[in-house]
Amino acid sequence: MTVVEEIKDRVDIAELIGESMQLKKSGKNFTGFCPFHANTRTPAFVVFPDTGTWRCFGACNEGGDVYKYVMKKEGWDFPQALQNLAERAGVELRPRTPEQEEQEEAQVGLRGLLESAVTFYRNNLLHSDQVLGYLQGRGFSSEALESFGVGYAPDSWDALQAFLLEKGHKHEQLVEAGLIAKRENGGFYDRFRNRIMFPIRDGRGRMAGFGARISDPKDQPKFINSPQTVLFDKGRLLFGLDGARKAIRAADQAVVVEGYFDVIALHQAGHGNAVSPMGTALTSHQLRSLKRYSRNIVLALDADAAGNQATLRGLNVAREALDREPDPVFDARGLVRHEGRLDAEIRIVGLPEGKDPDEVALEDPEAWTDLLRKASPVVEYVMDLLIGPSDSQDAKQKAAIARQVLPLIEDVADPVEREAYRQGLARRLKVDERAMMGWRPKRTTRTQASAPDLQQVDSMATEGFCLGLLLRDPELTYWIDRQLHALELEGLSSQDFIGTDSQVIFKAVQSSLGQVDEEPTERWKALLDGTALDQAIAFASKAEEVDFARPKVADAVSADFFRLRMRRVEGLLEQLSFQQQAVQELETVEQEMISLAKKAQNLVTQKRRLDVALAGRK
Ligand SMILES: [Zn+2]
C-alpha cells in the first residue's frame, strides 16, 4: 500500500468532511448541502464512506477523494493536503528530521519529569494523614488510590520545585511541563498547592498532566488542571482511559462520568469501563478515542445536571455554531451530531437525586449496572426531560417543546431513526390528534409476492425493492405512473425516494427511458458508477425473484410503490402539522394559516386515495 493510499484508508472521510459542514446519514452514505456552491434546497453533496469519495450532484457536478476535498476546501496543493492528512492519520511521510527527533526526546524528558512529580505527590499523600483519612472516609481503597497514582500537593509554594530541582531538572522544563509558573516579578511558584492530585495519562498510559481537586473546602476553584502543554490537551485526554481500555472492549460499552472520584470508585467497584473528561468539555476527539474501543457510549449525569434543563442549552445555541468549538459536556445537540458523524451510539442516564456515581457504585455495585440499563438515547432523554410524565401541556407549551426537540431530531443521522423520533414526539405531544393523527399509517400486511425475504414493512427496504424492479425493467415506470394517475396523483419522481443514492439511481432509470440509442437496462449501467452502480446491480438482482406471472403479484408491486408515496405524503403532513402549530402560536397573518391548511388538505386528499388503493390490495 502506498502512503497516499494508507492515509486515505485511515482517514474517515465522513468524519473529516463532517467537521466543516453538516452531514446526514443516508443509507451507507452521508449527504449535505454542498460547501462549494450556493444551495439550500436539496442536499446535493454526498459522501460515500465505502469508496472514500464525495460528489456534488448539484451545480459543481464534481467529486473526488479526501485529498481533493481538503485541497478544494482549504486551497491547498497536493503536498500540503498530503502533509496535513498524514498528521491527522498518524502516518509518517518520511524519515524523521533531526529536529523532530530532538522534539521527541524533549517529550520523553517531560514525561519523565511528570512521573517524578507523580511520585512526589504520592509520597506526600501517604504522609498526610488528614487527606488520606478524608479519601478513606469516602470509601476509596488503598489499592484503588495506588493504581490511579492519586497524590497530594502540599500547601507550599516551592516544595515540588525544590524536589525536582534537586534531581537535576531545570526551571524551564518544569514550566514546560506545566508544574510551576513564573512570577511577574521573577522567581517561580508551584502551580498546585494543597490539592488532591490526579495524574492524567494518555490512552497508552503515558503521563500528560494533572487534574487537581481542592482539599480544603474553602479553596477556589474546586478543580484545576495542568495548563495546555505539548503533552497536555484536555480536549483530547480522558481521565482513566489507559486503565479502562480493556474493560471498555470487554463490556462493549464506555461510561463517561463527571468526576475523577467517580471514575476511581467505579473501577474499585469492578466497573472498569468508566472515564471522565477534565472539567466541562466533552469533545469529538474524546468520543473518537472512546470509539476505538466501543461505539456504545453512556453518559452518566449527576442528578443536578440530569434534571437541569440548562444542560440542554446546546439546543438553543445558534445552529451555525462551529462544530469545532468544544461543546458543553452534555450539550444534547453536540452529542447527536457527534453520534452521527462518528457512527457511535450515545445514551444518557441520570443518577438518583443527591447521589454521585461513586456513592451509588460503592454502596451497591449491582445498582450501578441496573442504572446503566435505564440509559436512553439522547433525543429520548431530552423528550423525557421536556415533556415529563404529565401530558398537561397546552398548545403553546407543546409548540415550544416541538420547536426545541425538532431541530435535535433533524440532526439525527439515520433517516429511519429520525422518522421514529418524529412519530414518537407527535404521539407524546398528542399533536393535532383529530386533524392530523388521522393519517397515521395503519400497517398493512405485506403479501408474500412482494419481497419474500423481508419480514416486515421497512421503508428503506421497500425503497430498495422498488428501485430493483425499476432497474430490472425501466418501462415499469410507465405502468406505475398510470396507476398513480388513476388515483389523480402525480407520477413517480426522485422525491419518492429518501436516500440520495436511491434518487441518483432513480434518475438514471428515468434518463434511460428518455433515449432510444441503447437498451434502457444498458443505459442506466452506463449512467451510474461506483457505489451507486454496485447498489443498483444488487437491487436489480434481488428483483429477479419477482415473478409477474404469479397471481396478485402486480397488485403487491403497485402496493409497494403506493407505500413509498404514502411515506412521502405522511412525512410532508407531519412537517406541515408542526409548522401549522408554530404559526398558530406566533399568531402571524391569517393568510399563512390558510395556505398551510390548503397544503394539508391537498395532502390529506392524496393520502385518502392511497389508503383506499392500498385497502383494495391487501
Ligand atoms: Zn456543489
pLDDT at 353: 80
Segments making up each domain of the chain, as ranges: 3-89, 103-225, 241-388, 432-618
Give me the pLDDT at residue 281, please.
54
How far apart are the C-alpha atoms of 496 and 159, rounded to whole Å? 72
Q: What is the largest CA-CA distance in the chain?
A: 94
pLDDT tens column, 452-504: 322 223 566 788 889 999 999 999 999 999 999 999 999 999 878 876 667 78
How far apart, in whole angstroms, are the C-alpha atoms of residue 430 and residue 470? 39
| Residue 78 host element (H or E) | helix 78-89
Cell digits for 157? Answer: 509554594
Dist. CA 45 → ligand 1 center (Å):
6
Q: What's the CA gap between 381 and 277, in Å, rounded?
A: 21
Polymer length in residues for the chain: 618
Q: Is pLDDT of 255 > 90?
A: yes
With a CB cutoff of 8 Å and minimum separation 6, the contacts of 245 are: 203, 293
Question: Is 384 within 8 Å of 347 (Cβ atoms)?
Answer: no
Q: Which of 82, 89, 49, 50 is nearest to 67 (CA)?
A: 82
Instruction: Give the model confidence (pLDDT) of 188-227 as tens digits.
Output: 999 999 999 999 998 878 899 999 999 888 888 888 899 9
Please give the helix or strand (H or E) that residue 254 lies within, else none.
Answer: strand 254-256
* CA–centroid distance, residue 71 to ligand 1 (Å): 15
- The residue among 200, 138, 362 whose CA lies nearest residue 267 is 362
CA distances in angstroms from 199 to 238, 241, 279, 463, listed in the order given? 11, 12, 14, 53
Instruction: Determine the distance separating the centroid of ligand 1 and the alpha carbon of 46, expressed in angstroms.
Output: 10
Summarize the confidence of residues 246-256 as an average pLDDT: 90
Q: Do residues 63 and 56 make contact, with C-beta atoms less than 8 angstroms apart?
A: yes
Q: Which residues pair with 281 in a beta bridge?
A: 328
The whole-number average pLDDT for the span 282-296 is 81
Predicted local distance difference test score (pLDDT) of residue 305: 58
> For residue 395, what is its C-alpha cell?
398548545
Identify the CATH number of the domain defined by range 103-225.
Answer: 3.90.980.10
Cα 493 to middle of ligand 1, angstroms = 22
Distance between CA atoms of 190 and 160, rounded to whole angstroms? 6
For range 239-260, the mean pLDDT: 90
State whether residue 475 is helix, strand or coil: coil
Distance between Cα 40 and ligand 1 center (Å): 11
CATH fold for the domain made of 241-388 = Dna Topoisomerase Vi A Subunit; Chain: A, domain 2 (3.40.1360)
56 CA from centroid of ligand 1 (Å): 5
The contacts of residue 32 (CB under 8 Å, 6+ apart) are 17, 21, 22, 23, 24, 43, 45, 47
* Distance from residue 339's CA to the centre of ligand 1 (Å): 25
C-alpha torsion sign, points 536, 541, 545, 547: positive
Residue 583, judged by CB atoms within 10 A of its CB (0-12, 13-18, 19+), counts as middle
More confident: 316 or 425: 425
Q: Which amino acid is at 120?
A: F
Distance 523 CA to ligand 1 centre (A): 25
Taking the centre of ligand 1 as the mean of its atom positions, its distance from the CA of residue 32, in whole angstroms, is 10
| Å from CA of 332 to ligand 1 middle | 30
Output 500 or 323, whichever has higher pLDDT: 500
DSSP SS3 for 423: helix
Per-residue pLDDT tens over the stretch 548-603: 777 778 888 898 999 999 988 886 776 566 556 545 554 444 665 676 778 788 88
Q: Which residues pair with residue 188 across a beta bridge?
A: 182
Residue ranges with CB less than 5 Å from ion ligand 1: 34, 36-37, 56, 58, 60
Q: How far is the CA of 258 from the centre of ligand 1 (A)?
A: 42
CA atoms of 180 and 187, how far apart (whole Å) = 10
Single-letter code of the amino acid located at 31: T
- 62 CA distance to ligand 1 middle (Å): 7
Ligand 1 mean position to 42 CA, how many Å? 11
Look up residue 479 and give its three cell numbers.
405502468
pTM: 0.56
> Could you give the count of Cα atoms lying within 13 Å of 348 in the half-sphere of its Cβ?
27
From the CA of 6, how far away is ligand 1's center (Å)? 27
Ligand 1 centroid vs 532 CA: distance in angstroms? 18
Which of helix, strand or coil describes residue 188?
strand
pLDDT number for residue 2:
64
Ligand 1 centroid vs 61 CA: distance in angstroms? 6
Structure confidence at residue 591 (pLDDT):
62
Task: Choose the weakest-confidence range: 147-161, 313-327, 578-592.
Answer: 313-327
- Range 3-89 classified under CATH 3.90.580.10: yes
Nearest of 439, 444, 407, 442 to residue 425 by alpha carbon: 407
**What number is the average pLDDT over the span 405-425?**
81
3-class secondary structure, 239: strand
pLDDT tens sequence across 86-114: 888 888 776 667 877 788 888 889 999 99
Measure 63 CA to ligand 1 centroid, in angstroms. 9
Tell me, in angstroms, the distance from the centre of ligand 1 to residue 64's CA: 12
Residue 344 Cα to ligand 1 middle (Å): 28
> Rounded CA gap, 418 and 379, in Å?
10
Q: How remote is the CA of residue 33 from the centroid of ligand 1, in Å? A: 8
Distance 60 CA to ligand 1 centre (A): 4
Query: Which is more confident, 338 or 161?
Result: 161
How far apart are the CA of 320 and the centre of ligand 1, in A? 19
Average pLDDT, whole number, for the chain? Answer: 80
State the distance from the centre of ligand 1 to the C-alpha of 16, rounded, in angstroms: 17
Task: Report CA(319)–ligand 1 centroid distance (Å).
Answer: 21
Handedness of CA 227, 232, 237, 243 (dihedral sign): negative
CA of 57 to the centre of ligand 1 (A): 7
Distance 445 CA to ligand 1 centre (A): 41
Q: Tell me the CA–centroid distance for residue 58 and ligand 1, in Å.
A: 5
Q: pLDDT tens across 34-78, in order? A: 888 886 666 778 888 877 888 877 777 777 888 889 888 888 777
